[in-house]
Amino acid sequence: MHIPDGYLGPATSGVFCAAMLPIWITASRIVKKTLQAKQIPLLAIGAAFSFVIMMFNVPIPGGSTGHAVGAVLVAILLGPWAAVIAISVALVIQALLFGDGGITAIGANCFNMGVVIPFVGYYLYKLISGDAPVDSNRRVIAAGVAGYIGINVAAFLAGVELGLQPVLHHTAQGQALYCPYGLKIAVPAMAGEHLLIFGWVEAIVTALVVKYLQKQAPELLGKEAS
């Protein structure tokens, strides 16, 4: 889901970079108020965990690859605004150091993976968990569903962003200037592979870590930063 440079036209790149600025400022303000000093190490581990989990490319034999993001997990533990910061830092380092995701696409990538996944995942987790006890299976299932839906909403959105490009930018002869695939191809491709495969990876990772923390550190599951 890391959109490279050259796939989005300037209009789309600009809109998402402009949208991310106030989101980053708001995230800093909220995290500043709500994050506790003792939660800083966990936020650092969460960001590093997200980065490493994104390196586990899962193959579709003969097809493409994809991966989990781990953003729902960070949101469950520390709140969605803290997750915005953690995932954005991971995405910026990925782009700058490893060329994974474009420099011009950083706004779109941070929005898709660093905002949509944590917020959708966090509120679904809250909704499904309700007031279930911290050690309940309901929370494990809630974490899995939140992971699955969170990454799928983001994949769908990435598909729309890519699919809009041939409509927005093309030559007089009809050749695309940026992403050459329209909505009819990009959306089913991005949404389909995440619904079938990669969404389940995010679901399993999120659910298993929540299950582990229920046993090892239940105090982390009861309260979050925002």
Instruction: Please give the distance of CA 46 from its chain centroid, rounded to a whole number.
Output: 13
Stretch that binds another protein, among 52-60, 115-123, 128-136, 142-150 (CB under 8 A): 52-60
Query: Judged by CB under 8 A, does residue 146 bind another protein?
Result: no
Integer Rg of the chain from CA: 18
- Residue in 69, 84, 89, 124 binding another protein, rule: CB under 8 A: 89
| Closer residue to another protein (CB): 144 or 159 | 159
Under rule CB under 8 A, how many of the chain's residues touch another protein?
75
Q: Which of 54, 6, 15, 10 has the alpha carbon at shortest distance from 157?
A: 15
Q: Which residues, at least 6 apart from 45, have a Cβ–Cβ distance to it below 8 Å?
A: none
Stretch that binds another protein, among 5-13, 109-117, 122-130, 144-152 (CB under 8 A): 5-13
Q: x-or-dash pattern for another protein, window 56-75, by CB under 8 A? A: xxxxxxxxxxxx--------
| Closer residue to another protein (CB): 124 or 193 | 193
Structure tokens at 15: 């809109």
Query: Judged by CB under 8 A, does residue 144 bind another protein?
Result: no
| Closer residue to another protein (CB): 124 or 178 | 178
CA distance 169 to 9: 7
Ranges within 100-129 binding another protein (CB under 8 A): 100, 102-104
Stretch that binds another protein, among 30-38, 110-118, 126-134, 139-147 (CB under 8 A): 30-38
CA distance 60 to 10: 31
Ranges within 170-199 binding another protein (CB under 8 A): 171, 175-181, 186, 189-190, 193
Query: Judged by CB under 8 A, does residue 26 bind another protein?
Result: no
Q: Are 28 and 85 in contact (CB under 8 A)?
A: yes
Q: Which residues, at least 6 apart from 40, have a Cβ–Cβ distance to it below 8 Å?
A: none
Stretch that binds another protein, among 113-121, 122-130, 141-149, 169-177 (CB under 8 A): 169-177
Query: Judged by CB under 8 A, does residue 40 bind another protein?
Result: yes
**Ordered DSSP codes for 109-176:** HIIIIIIIHHHHHHHHHHHHHTT--TT-HHHHHHHHHHHHHHHHHHHHHHHHHHHHHHHHSB-TTS-B
Query: Judged by CB under 8 A, does residue 168 bind another protein?
Result: no
| Closer residue to another protein (CB): 67 or 139 | 67
